[in-house]
Amino acid sequence: MSERRRLERALLEAGVPAGHYWIEGVHEPAPTPPDFVYLRTRPEGGGWETGVYQRGAFEPVAVHATEGEACAHLRRLLLGG
């Protein structure tokens, strides 16, 4: 199971509402919510990014070298700790 799938499972088990997050290739709610935190591959330069989607735009908060680091960051953003 991929890191992203494990993260999705943890968020579901924690009761995080589905519209609060978007995980590329794993959890992409439709229709797209107006605001959410996200994890995706970087559009340029490789690696991964986490950030906030607001007003129709992706706004990166952090860049990560690995999928695991990005998943850990998104988990902290949504669950704390």
Q: Is the pLDDT of residue 1 over 80?
A: no
Q: What pLDDT, on a 0 to 100 scale, did the predictor assign at position 45? A: 81
The partner residues of 48 in beta bridges, in order of sequence, read 41, 64
Instruction: Write out the residue range of the structural domain in which residue 55 sits.
Output: 3-79
Provide the number of structural domains found in the chain.
Answer: 1
Report the predicted TM-score, pTM, of the whole model to 2 decimal places. Answer: 0.93
What would the pLDDT profile of 38-54 be if each residue is shown by its tens digit? 999 998 888 999 999 99
Number of Cβ within 10 Å of residue 32's Cβ equals 11
Is residue 50 classed as helix, strand or coil in its secondary structure? strand
- 10 Å CB burial of residue 21 (0-12, 13-18, 19+) is buried
- Positive or negative: CA dihedral 70, 72, 76, 81: negative
How many CA atoms lie less than 13 Å away from 43 in the CB half-sphere?
4
